[in-house]
Structure 1
């Protein structure tokens, strides 16, 4: 999905989709089910893209990982300025980490429960459920994600010195209270945006979402005489 976005974003935006172990081209690798280990793995793999102005976008579990990445970057940046921080952190369809409830996910060994959860979330083509092998692969990835999230433990740190925007779907089951508390995790005022749709509103409202992302990058990428310099990296998880 994220690579398709490049057709609709300005040419100064370079999209870098984050591929996790056990997914996509890394399907044969073992999925990491330890949150901190996965955060460090992403940093090790993608640090080279953080040498020029960049932003990070994360949707759902990706938003939690994006926040974890920025926690590590901020901690290291306070000691050494060699690691840059993103110009802006864009968080989608995810409660703030202090409100994150690992117990809300289904039993990862209950296939029927996982299928019901997958249907409830939306975002998957109905044809997926007619192909057992493809469905099993999807369920294995989903189960690995949920085991990772079930092991997540919130660690309170100082608010991040970052501009942040929180995006959400109006019909998603994440309460506004659990979204608004993201504010305590940023030292700067957060902007909130709500779109029509559920958990996968980013598919249903793609044009509006990309317009919002573009505006956010235009507002926070360094400029000179109103001309954007170089390329803005947007890492998507």
Structure 2
């Protein structure tokens, strides 16, 4: 199988005869390449693909999409042709919500993922008052530092900061203005994955993903903060494969 894909979806490793596709959705400010190690580890058992949002890497000259619903509309259309094989979704932080909304749209087209792994994000209907997307650049970068997902040396480089700020602000605007009614559900099972010291997700907020599926639900808790998956990669990938191939 070729690694060639369109601008919305990246394939980093060939998967000659995969049984299932794993679609990965990045966090706010993140890019498809964040999931390159996942593709390297899980291919060829899984055809691992990662969504590439506008405004970063090779799409850096495109305007960011500051609305989760609009972003999910585009992603769902791009994923529809890939539904010739079973798909599982993994989304981290903002990506968990984009994956959920894409699943809603695909469900309306009689396509549903095998499972949604919702990582590092409170349930769609759980609201917090958040305003960092309306604040200055220093506040936004300070928030990224606090969450610990980006090498601090990169954040000390003014050229790199200038390059990533537009996608950060666009994504933070999208996720912090996102709203979802409490009664919205998908029919795919949801497995919520969270770090035990994540400042953005309480255990109660993680458990409330249960309200957004008509199928099975499970909560998996790992040691670590918002980017627990960086240090728990092996356990996370084991959880993914065990649940896809059970």
Q: CA RMSD in A?
A: 1.5
- After superposition, where does 1:159-178 map in structure 2 within 5 Å? 159-173=185-199, 174-178=201-205
1:201 is matched with 228
- After superposition, where does 1:38-49 map in structure 2 within 5 Å? 38-49=71-82
1-structure distance, mates of 2:83, 2:60: 25
Contact 1:108–1:146 (Cα < 8 Å) also in 2: no
TM-score after normalising by structure 1: 0.84
Deviation at 1:158, TM superposition (A): 4.7
Q: How many pairs were matched up?
A: 212
TM-score after normalising by structure 2: 0.81
2:144 is matched with 118
- After superposition, where does 1:1-237 map in structure 2 within 5 Å? 1-77=34-110, 84-101=111-128, 103-173=129-199, 174-219=201-246
Q: Which runs of 5+ in 2 are unaligned?
A: 1-33
Deviation at 1:205, TM superposition (A): 0.8
- The C-alpha deviation readout for 1:131-155, integer Å capped at 9, x for no partner, is 1010122222111111112321213
Which aligned segments of 4 or more residues in structure 1 are displaced greater than 3 angstroms?
155-158
The SS at the match of 2:198 is coil
Q: Which runs of 5+ in 1 are unaligned?
A: 78-83, 220-237
1-structure distance, mates of 2:119, 2:112: 19
2-structure distance, mates of 1:115, 1:68: 27
Deviation at 1:157, TM superposition (A): 4.4
